[in-house]
Chains A and B, each alone.
Chain A
């Protein structure tokens, strides 16, 4: 079983739609969780950290369910510029930033 699993998609949505991605992780002792965004042939960039209480940044909402070991990302009012691959990322040990990446979920927002 992969340490971090995501639905690869692609998710095809129209502009303005709300879309949700889920991710599961296998190590119940994992400490930190993140969503990164990766554009085609580019490096990943941090979108947001994920906290147990849930957190929101503009149109983006992230939630963590430790009991079920899953992480979610909700994007409201999708924009064309949101088209990218969204990577679920876990720090399993809580140590010095040794990150484990999911394969990513591809989002395509169309006009």
Chain B
């Protein structure tokens, strides 16, 4: 299966700053990647679907101007949290779907803390 990396693994930033999170598919060309967010003791919630070469598709309630997604190549998608606030503190995880319809491979996640 696909090997997925994320960078950084952990970031602490001040309120109002922007944070960029990278998701890389190391051995698999991914035209689609998914971005999830997980708050403590809650389920993973899909934020958006990142599409290579086109605009991302955002889930209802997710502000596209706040969570900027760029999928410039088949191996890299980035999520930028703009003007971060403490309520954006969460665990952000990307995933790459397998060629078969039955699996997604997740990155190790990025833990964001906004002070």
* Chain A residues within 8 Å of B, Cβ to Cβ: 4, 8, 32, 34, 41-46, 49, 87, 91, 96-104
* Chain B residues within 8 Å of A, Cβ to Cβ: 32, 34, 36, 41-46, 49, 91, 93, 97-98, 101-104, 106-109, 111
A49: which B residues are within 8 A, CB to CB? Answer: 102-103
Task: Please tell me if the beta carbons of B102 and A99 are within 8 angstroms of each other in the complex.
Answer: no
A97: which B residues are within 8 A, CB to CB? Answer: 32, 34, 97-98, 101, 104
Task: Please tell me if the beta carbons of A42 and B103 are within 8 angstroms of each other in the complex.
Answer: no
Closest CB-CB distance, A23 to chain B, in whole Å? 11
Task: Please tell me if the beta carbons of A104 and B107 are within 8 angstroms of each other in the complex.
Answer: no
Task: Please tell me if the beta carbons of A32 and B102 are within 8 angstroms of each other in the complex.
Answer: yes
A4: which B residues are within 8 A, CB to CB? Answer: 43
Closest CB-CB distance, B41 to chain A, in whole Å? 7
Task: Please tell me if the beta carbons of B106 and A99 are within 8 angstroms of each other in the complex.
Answer: no
B34: which A residues are within 8 A, CB to CB? Answer: 97-99
What separation, in Å, do the CA atoms of A44 and B111 have in the docked complex? 14
B44: which A residues are within 8 A, CB to CB? Answer: 44, 87, 101
Please, could you name 7 A-B residue pairs with CB atoms under 8 Å apart, sorted by A? A45-B106, A87-B43, A87-B44, A91-B101, A97-B34, A97-B97, A97-B98
